[in-house]
Structure 1
Amino acid sequence: MSDAKRPVGVALVGMGTVGTEVLRYMETNGDELAARIGAPLELRGIAVRDTSKDRGVDSSLLTDDPVSLTLREDVDVVVEVMGGIDIAKPLLIGALNAGKAVVTANKALLAEYTDELAEAADSTESDLYFEAAVAGAIPVLGPLRRSMAGDQVERVVGIVNGTTNFILSEMDSTGAAYSETLAEASRLGYAEADPTADVEGYDAAAKAAILASIAFHSRVTAKDVYREGISAITPAQFESARHMECTIKLLALCEKVRRSDGTEAVSARVYPALIPLGHPLASVDGAYNAVVVEAEAAGRLMFYGQGAGGAPTASAVLGDLVAAARNKVMGGRAPGESTYRALPVATIDDVVTRYHVSMSVHDRAGVLSQVAAEFSNHGVSIAQVRQTESEQGAELVVLTHRAAERDLAATVSALSEMDSVREIVSVIRLEGEDQ
């Protein structure tokens, strides 16, 4: 067999839902993959925690020693789909240092340690691919890294967690409370037994860190991402959103901003926000994901599809596997990490957007003017005010013009100390309008 046709050896680490789908596709579409790569793929082994479990594969392929498997001389590409950090991090760094190409779907690892993985890849000029780490089957990282390499990305906004999008979509369409829709998400298999990573925004924050790092050529980790979850969202907020012809989505937002001292920085944040019904993300319902990229030359681009699940995620893994294997056959390398801009990460205080503030107030003369004065005192301009009556008094809903987060926070703090304000019911940001 000529060198051009020498099989590309693959080590699969993890055989859960995604790993099983990757293996199935490799087996059923081997000839197609070989034609695209220029050589056949050969599975060298599968690392699993329990080798005694029947997994429907040749038991001789199974091992509980992932290090020995990934460092074998006949392994060219390591595909990691087991997740976690403690085992995966040293394993993949070791594989890269040994000259293996790595394909991973491990968003938690990448959101914290892309720098160490990239340095290991650079040391041996090896490939590091991770399309499946963000938005499942949706190809967004590849276009950001390659197709838009000559453009200037200004903003990336996305719905990148299917569990929370399902919950919020159900709350919007049925009027049900958060707890009811979370229970339904669990029953249908959209929510994990412990949904904290999803509903409190940790999953989306990891993905936001990856998106921001690539889009703005600067290292951003999950710890840099401002994060709020959806557990405090109420049916009343959806009702108020409908009055404004909006809905509520958990958004991952990454953009370049100007800090108070005039310097440029990267903002990466995750929180539930109002978005107008005319915005393309407003119609993304159920467990689907979508990412909107705004760039100087390309304008607005939208990527939409299934953001989770075994088969969709396996699709992204397989795309990376084909690319990495082709590079092994042809003698090339994918673009490495690009952090040349090294922009600092902005705090939430540097964010400028609009705000929807709902408060319960005493129903008496002069309250509205007092509230309006407090907004003015802190440099926050009011766009709209709506007042409704209740048994407890009155509810004021204030929609602001664009304002800095620090100014809005100071305003809310001052309002909460006013005798005429019974309670600040909610504060939610308005995103998705033309900047």
Structure 2
Amino acid sequence: MSNTLDIQQIRAQFPVLHQEVNGKPLVYFDNAATTQKPQVVIDALDNYYKGYNSNIHRGAHALADKATQAFEETRKTAAEFLNAETPEQVIFTKGTTDGINLIASSYGRQNIQAGDEIIVSTLEHHSNIVPWQMLCQEKGATLKVIPINAKGELIMEEFEKLLTANTKIVAVNHASNALGTVNPIAEMIEKAHTVGAVVVVDGAQSASHFDIDVQALGVDFFVTSAHKVYGPTGIGLLYGKRVFLEEMPPYQGGGEMIKEVSFDGTTFNEIPYKFEAGTPNIADVIAFDAAMKWVQDLGKEAIRAHEAELLAYANEKLSEIPGIIFYGTAAEKVSVLSFGLEGVHPFDIGMMLDARGVAVRTGHHCTQPLMKHLGIEGTVRASFSVYNTKEEIDTLVQGVARVAKMMA
């Protein structure tokens, strides 16, 4: 266990963890899909609806003012969380998927032409593949794919070969949701910029683990989701360099994103409001502030150390089970362990683990091209968070060993 964090004290802050599933204590190992929420995040939601529920920015009364201040405080916290140059460069979205679609629909449609090339990787989530496919189809551009090696790592030499004068966008995840592989995005950004390409980083799986410094990285766009950083669902962040955000057309039309509207024409608001049409998800934005501050108080270095300890322990114990197969053995990983058993469907493993109170994710993890490359239908994915323990991993290992014995 980590020497710097009191894990039991941390667990006490998460009400959902203290229950039984199928008569067994819940073991929650589906953190890559969504993390659970500490009481401070739940309280922030509760306090907003009980105390100052109001629409923001346009009201002249006390509740609207308080809600607006809380909403914009989250933007300031997010800018610090990412080390953005200014809060105005942080756009609130519905999540990572929405952020990528905003970039593809606004920046992409404005800048991509026939003959241009967009690069993604074999490791991408569908949300960082499909919007670019749609854009390529619309514009007559070409989608190129960075291959991976047997460990589930990007082959950087092949990435360099894909970069040409026609490369306009490189869209890559910081860490793979399916395998846990951490990609060398600083190096990739630098190389992409040498050919004039813009880089979009999907940070859905990295923002809760790593200190993100968008300025040091030099990244053009960075997107992530609150619900993977101990915050609410349905809210996310898009960071963009000011030079791009100011030139991009609005993603949606409606209230708040305008300066003046007439039937003769409309002028648009400044960033970030140009991209935040309509009444936003106010409550969840405010609660996201509590989540980011909770993470900052714990410290990502301490969180990462504990999660790395859990990952190493799980690797060691699961490797002792006959027939175990690991997928993704990269040298650099976040706390994701993807595995299977010879001759056993991952869904069957997941159902039998659920009977023991262990929650894991099974299937293709929205990475069907990656699964096809691996020659499998899917994996069992156990993903660990700061509130997990080695004792919980022991329960997982016992469950998998039992399945292996039953199926032998």
For normalisation by structure 2, the TM-score amounts to 0.24
Q: Select the structure with the greater relative contact order (CA < 8 A; seq sep ≥ 6).
A: 2
For normalisation by structure 1, the TM-score amounts to 0.23
Larger Cα-atom Rg:
1
